[in-house]
Structure 1
């Protein structure tokens, strides 16, 4: 068995060279637009970059204020691998290992790089009528930058005839079809933003669907750029509430997944990475990892790879039932999830 696991590890080292397309690119790079390149402005920009990074990784706007991060909040350069400028835009590259070590000393939630892709339908209703901000338009870059700033992988619809027919005059009333567009665009979540004018301000009401779960929020800002940033800041927080993981939280679980080929094996390694998963077993029929997590958190994370929980294989249930019958002290019926000899529950998943 150790030989099989070793072979799998070697194969991963090759596959990940071409299969490393994580949903979030440049998660540890923050771009801050500054007024100048003066040293005091730069130092303030570095501090703001750290604040932004902490929200990206935790979903909490005040994460940088944690007592264990005080020294980095005052001067984050110990966590920075390099920084430079594009015009007056300060580009800060943080060292992932150093940042992770700093976060591990806190009790903050942590959100990894494998994140749900959000298909964003952004509708603007102003004096020019209603229009969709679609992929390829000049406005698309601004939206993409705002989403990247808060670590939200985002796609925009093409805006073709099929898309235009979905939005109509009242897109919210047609939300079921809009939610169904996730399949066309290979997205994990769908967001509808309705932007209007509210006096001298811009108002955005947003709705976010992940499966059947709906979240929503409202933002008012004086400028388009500020509005986009504020929306994605809220979306970052909403998604993190569902996907960020509290280190050490939950119970010991064994995760057994059927139908694992090499490509799926690599995907599972990434999905389970936030749980510090330990590979236990690899066979022709399944692969098994041990994690510490709550069951619901684990299900939510694996749903990103379109996995579903399954009942225990019949052979497993019968074995458990026979053992129960032989031991008069065990009177409970067999459950869908069984326990291994190490005491950890076994949960079964497949595609």
Structure 2
């Protein structure tokens, strides 16, 4: 299976029919501050870097504490493809007894080996095509409540940093005249879904996070969060000593919830076959693009063309997980679109057939 083993969260936005997904790169890279270039510090950094990658690839924040993965972390250097040191820009010294690090270790891990190790241990693997998360954030300051726009660097940076740690594509609304005509701070603060979702449509997200941030008289900060994915809504609260800490917990909760929906666990007892009929395959270039896409699709182990007709190709996909998980992954991209009127996945019935059309 092909992977994209790069990650500074450089995003290639993929415009689908009704939503926007993103190809997340650099999933298997990490950078960790180190005190020096000695072997002990390097081994500790490699372990921390692999833990960061495992959280990002599985989608679960506690995966590094799983006893089943202890051997991976103990032997982190085995999964390294390359590493190098980078000098950090000196920061102001606030504690002379513990000066900030001036050196970082950058690491690139082997994607295929890590994926195989996770799957052999029954752990989920979340592919590089991920849902775009749009964040509507209302902040209460004194008696005023206001919305946070993408141009506001402080809040945006805190959200973006948390999203980078989890491999989650994220954006804030522009809050231009069009947004202002559709939604107000009161709508977001009150959790009124209808105007918020209507205003979200122009950004084509696959998930919308509605957040309310405020602080109490003791100086603590609190957040109330609602994540909407399709017709589903999930709610939770978070608290912290700083706004950045609370914002990070909003992103963390979203990443955990989205991972439950989109990451895939291999079940050897339930390997299945999926028949896929694809329309609008008009040229040899279209044919080659389709097969290349299917071959690289997360969860697919083999692709066999069973029929070629006028502008239609039927393929048999051998899967290493349920057909529903693979269908959701297809829905994240911009290569195939579901044909209207396609039958839903019948549970437990094999072979399955789904109909799509190849997008330009």
Query: For this structure pair, what is the TM-score category when the shorter chain's length is used for normalisation?
Result: 0.7 to 0.9
- Take 1:72 and 1:149, find their aligned partners in 2: how far apart are those partners? 20
CA contact (8 A) 2:83 2:105 kept: no
- In the superposition, the TM-score normalised over structure 1's length comes to 0.74
Task: Pick closer, same or farther for the CA change 1:35–1:29 going to 2, 3 Å.
Answer: closer
- Greater share of helix residues, 1 or 2? 1
Aligned to 2:3: none
Task: Pick closer, same or farther for the CA change 1:252–1:225 going to 2, 3 Å.
Answer: same
- Take 1:182 and 1:257, find their aligned partners in 2: how far apart are those partners? 30
1:161-310 correspondence to structure 2 within 5 Å:
161-165=177-181, 166-171=183-188, 172-198=190-216, 199-248=218-267, 249=270, 251-260=272-281, 262=286, 265=290, 268-269=293-294, 272-281=297-306, 283=309, 284-292=311-319, 293-305=321-333, 307-308=337-338
SS class of match (1:82): strand
Answer yes or no: is 1:148 the counterpart of 2:167.
no
Shift of 1:27: 1.3
- In the superposition, the TM-score normalised over structure 2's length comes to 0.72
1:119-158 correspondence to structure 2 within 5 Å:
119-127=134-142, 129-139=144-154, 140-158=156-174
- Take 2:204 and 2:166, find their aligned partners in 1: how far apart are those partners? 21
Deviations 1:75-114 (A, max 9, x none): 4122222143351455432221232232232101111111
- Take 2:262 and 2:191, find their aligned partners in 1: how far apart are those partners? 28
Aligned to 2:93: none
- Take 2:338 and 2:274, find their aligned partners in 1: how far apart are those partners? 16
CA contact (8 A) 2:146 2:185 kept: no
User: Which structure has more RCO (C-alpha within 8 Å, separation ≥ 6)?
Assistant: 2
CA contact (8 A) 2:150 2:172 kept: yes
Q: Which moved more, 1:247-256 or 1:103-112?
A: 247-256
List runs of 5+ in structure 2 lacking aligned partners: 1-11, 15-21, 89-100
Answer yes or no: is 1:94 the counterpart of 2:95.
no
- Take 2:148 and 2:295, find their aligned partners in 1: how far apart are those partners? 32
SS class of match (1:169): helix
Q: Which has the higher Rg, Structure 1 or Structure 2?
A: 1
- Take 1:44 and 1:229, find their aligned partners in 2: how far apart are those partners? 25
- Take 1:36 and 1:167, find their aligned partners in 2: how far apart are those partners? 48
Shift of 1:151: 1.0
SS class of match (2:221): strand
Aligned to 1:85: 86
The count of aligned residue pairs is 306
What is the CA RMSD across the aligned residues, in angstroms?
3.3
Shift of 1:260: 4.3
- Take 1:150 and 1:236, find their aligned partners in 2: how far apart are those partners? 7
SS class of match (1:92): strand
Deviations 1:13-67 (A, max 9, x none): xxxxxx89752122112344x4845756654443333222212221223323444
CA contact (8 A) 1:209 1:215 kept: yes
SS class of match (1:307): strand
SS class of match (1:187): coil
SS class of match (1:109): coil
List runs of 5+ in structure 1 lacking aligned partners: 1-18, 313-334
Task: Pick closer, same or farther for the CA change 1:128–1:243 going to 2, 3 Å.
Answer: same
- Take 2:179 and 2:253, find their aligned partners in 1: how far apart are those partners? 25
Shift of 1:268: 5.0
- Take 1:42 and 1:112, find their aligned partners in 2: how far apart are those partners? 28
CA contact (8 A) 1:109 1:247 kept: yes
- Take 1:190 and 1:290, find their aligned partners in 2: how far apart are those partners? 32
